[in-house]
Every structure is written in C-alpha cells, then in structure tokens.
Amino acid sequence: MAMCGFKGAAAECGLYHWPCAFRLENELALITGGGSGLGLAMARALAAAGAQVVLAGRRESLLKQAAESIGPQAHYVVHDVNKLSEARGLVETATREFGPVTVLINNAGTHLKKSAIETTEEEFLKVLTTHVLGAHALSRAVAPEMIHRRSGSILFIASMASLFGLPQVVAYSAAKSAYVGMVRALATELSPHGVRVNAIAPGFIETEMSRKALEGDPARRDRILTRTPMARLGDPDDIGMAAVYLCSAAAKFVTGIVLPVDGGASIGF
C-alpha cells in the first residue's frame, strides 16, 4: 500500500533501504503558517528531503520571501485559515497549480497570553477557530482525494500545552488539547484508507518569538531549562526533521500518535 513518502526514491531503492525511506520525492506538502517560525523550518526540511512545498498564510510578502529562501521547490498561496469556507478553494488552487496535495501540515495558529478569568468568550472563540476549526476545515478538504488515492499524511502541530498545564494560556491550551482528540479520531477514520494522521508536540524551541519572550524574563528561561532534561532549547530544525519522518515511508506504520520533540520536558521534573 502506498503511503506518504512511499514513492519516488523510496520505491526505486526498495522498501527497507532506510536512507531512501526518509525521502519525499513526488510529494506535495501544503503547510499553513509556512512563512516563518516552525512552519518555515518544516518547509525547508521537507524540501531538502525532496518534496515540493506550498506555503499558506496571510502575508504575501512574508510568504514570497520564505519561498525564495527555500528555492524552486517552494511555492505559496495567500490564505487565512479563519475563512473556513475557503479551505476547499485553497486545496483546489494548490492542486491546479502545483499538483495533488499528498501532505497537509496544520501549523497555523494564534496565541493569547491572558489569565483564564480575564479571557473573554470572543477571544477564546477566535483562538479555537484558528486552530481547531481551521485545521478541521483543511483536513476535511484534503481527505477525499487522499482516500481516493489511498495515500496521504496529515500532520498537526500540537504543543506542550497539549500535554500538561501551562498558566495564562487557557484558550491556547484548549485548542492544542483538541488537536490530540482530532488526531486520534481522524486516524481511526482515515487510516483504513491509507491516510495517516499524526501530531508533533514541540517543546521549548529557540525561535525569534521565544527569544523575544525570554530575553526580558531570565527567571522563566531558567525554569524552562531546569525542567528540560537536555537543559537547552530546541532548534526549529528538530521539528522539521520530525515532520520529515512522520510524512515519510519510514513512518508507514505510524498513525494516531503525538510525538513530543521537547528535550524531555514532558517527562522531566
């Protein structure tokens, strides 16, 4: 049975030839929030493994710059995941211009740092819409064609907030926890048709956003490093390489999991 990545180089050099199992030739990955941060890191990693990547986001200038930095394997489409009715149109545009979407990475999101008591219903709903409903709409849009081909991979970018309690992020925690339920439910529905569904739960990764957040809060940085057994922040490439694995033939029997990439933070004390 063909799975995400189980084509191209992997097929040519044999199913069990492990270096080829990680190759992604003939795959087209649609990555939301792909213009910066972890989305861009995953796009670079997938492109390095041979995939074509389509970056989706709201800011065209950022997407264009990101695609140019990756090279000819990268493309972009302007899209707002909050416009749920346009999800199918995004997939149709990507398919028409670049080919069938064989990998979807639900990465786009928004963050709200606010106490639970102060978080309004409108703010809560906005976070849930961006993460949960936006990801569901796109997954729903790509799934029929993947089922038809009996091949595909859908990847959700979860969070440490999916695994344990974090203060001041009640809406974000609820949204990322919902990802875990969606991954498991979708995996049970889609995997019999050859479509795998998984998630990555990034730990504390050194990005521009995290650097800004921690530069003025050394106590918080110390708390993070103290509870992380590897005693350092991760690199964006760590998430990119995990995405390559989960979307490749190397993970052809892996579905319904949430993979922490966190230096041990989720099991540390």
Mean residue pLDDT across the chain: 92
**Pair 139, 185: CB distance under 8 Å:** no
- For residue 93, count CB atoms less than 10 angstroms from its CB and return exposed for 0-12, middle for 13-18, buried for 19 or more: middle
Annotated catalytic residue: which of 76, 172, 179, 245?
Answer: 172
pLDDT digits (tens, 9 = 90+) for 89-147: 999 999 999 999 999 999 999 989 999 999 999 999 999 999 999 999 999 999 999 99
In the chain, where are the structural domains located? 9-261
Q: Strand 152-157 relative to strand 103-106: parallel, antiparallel, unpaired?
A: parallel
CATH fourth-level superfamily of 9-261: NAD(P)-binding Rossmann-like Domain (3.40.50.720)
172 counts as catalytic: yes
pTM equals 0.92
Contact in structure between 233 and 210 (CB atoms under 8 Å): yes
Q: What is the pLDDT of residues 146-203, one digit of tens each?
A: 999 999 999 999 999 999 998 999 999 999 999 999 999 999 999 999 999 999 999 9
